[in-house]
Amino acid sequence: DVKVTQSSRYLVKRTGEKVFLECVQDMDHENMFWYRQDPGLGLRLIYFSYDVKMKEKGDIPEGYSVSREKKERFSLILESASTNQTSMYLCASSFRARGRQEYFGPGTRLTVT
């Protein structure tokens, strides 16, 4: 079974802190994704990576950066956390081939106070 793991299920941080969210997948997937999920707004793509060291901005990249130094690991970084970044963060991965599904981690509920 494909496994996508996220470093924390729940995280509480203070405004202005630098926050790291880690995601690891064990299926040798080329693509990895970071989404945030907010009530009434569905899933919004923050960043996407299609290979090691490669990244593309998604729909809402402002205030975030990412790092992919190894194929299996994709990190989301909040440079200076703000209260409007309180949200559920979901990591996903997939093969690059056509028709591929995305495999999701369990999510990290981040609260910024």
Partner 1 sequence: GDSVTQMEGPVTLSEEAFLTINCTYTATGYPSLFWYVQYPGEGLQLLLKATKADDKGSNKGFEATYRKETTSFHLEKGSVQVSDSAVYFCALSDPTNAGKSTFGDGTTLTVKP
**Stretch 20-59 residues interacting with partner 1 (CB under 8 A):** 30-31, 33, 40-43, 45, 48, 50, 56, 58
Least CB distance to partner 1 at residue 90 (A): 6
Using the rule CB under 8 A, give the single segment among 11-19, 64-72, 77-85, 87-95 that binds partner 1: 87-95
Could you tell me which residues are beta bridge partners of residue 95?
A: none
List of E strands, the chain: 4-6, 10-13, 19-25, 31-38, 42-51, 54-57, 64-70, 73-78, 87-94, 103-104, 108-112
Contacts with partner 1, residue ranges (CB under 8 A)? 4, 30-31, 33, 40-43, 45, 48, 50, 56, 58, 90, 92, 94, 96, 98-107
